[in-house]
Amino acid sequence: MTIGLAHFLVVGAALFGLGLYGLFTKRNTVAILMCIELMLNAVNLNMLAFSRFVTPETFVGQIFAIFNITVAAAEVAVGLALIFSIYRDRASVYADDLDWMKW
């Protein structure tokens, strides 16, 4: 039995669904960032799978995946800096407590 494109897409969809579920159910902002990273990794897996099985002679999927990993690393750095700053001011990292922009 060989592993085909459908197998990678099922794993990618499961990872994305798990990240989306965590994004909507978690209250801790660090956990929310981790769920976003899980979703980005699912997208990377799908890009690499399509690149491997649809156009194996080009490296377009790999280049997009490396770019996506770079953007994700910058997003984590900025997100954690914001969370640390909010924690110093509010002494909480729960998303429900971040309501100072409400009327």
pLDDT digits 0-9 by tens, 18-29: 999 999 998 888
Q: Are 36 and 23 in contact (CB under 8 A)?
A: yes
CA distance to 14, 81, 84, per residue, from 92 (Å): 31, 14, 10
pLDDT digits (tens, 9 = 90+) for 49-100: 999 999 888 888 889 889 999 999 999 999 899 888 888 887 887 877 777 7
Does residue 1 sit in helix, strand or coil?
Answer: coil
Tell me whether residue 101 is in a domain. Answer: no
Examine the pLDDT at 102 and tell me if it is beyond 70.
Answer: no
Residue range(s) defining the domain that contains residue 30: 5-92
Convert 20-44 into a string of H (helix), E (strand) and C (coil): HHHHHHCCEHHHHHHHHHHHHHHHH
Tell me whether residue 103 is in a domain. Answer: no
Tell me whether residue 98 is in a domain. Answer: no
Give, as one character, the DSSP assignment of residue 97: G
CATH of the domain at 62: 1.10.287.3510
pLDDT digits (tens, 9 = 90+) for 30-48: 899 999 999 999 999 999 9
Tell me whether residue 78 is in a domain. Answer: yes
Q: Mean pLDDT across the stretch 3-14? A: 94
Tell me whether residue 100 is in a domain. Answer: no
Tell me whether residue 68 is in a domain. Answer: yes
Examine the pLDDT at 101 and tell me if it is beyond 80.
Answer: no
Tell me whether residue 99 is in a domain. Answer: no
Tell me whether residue 9 is in a domain. Answer: yes
Domain count, the chain: 1
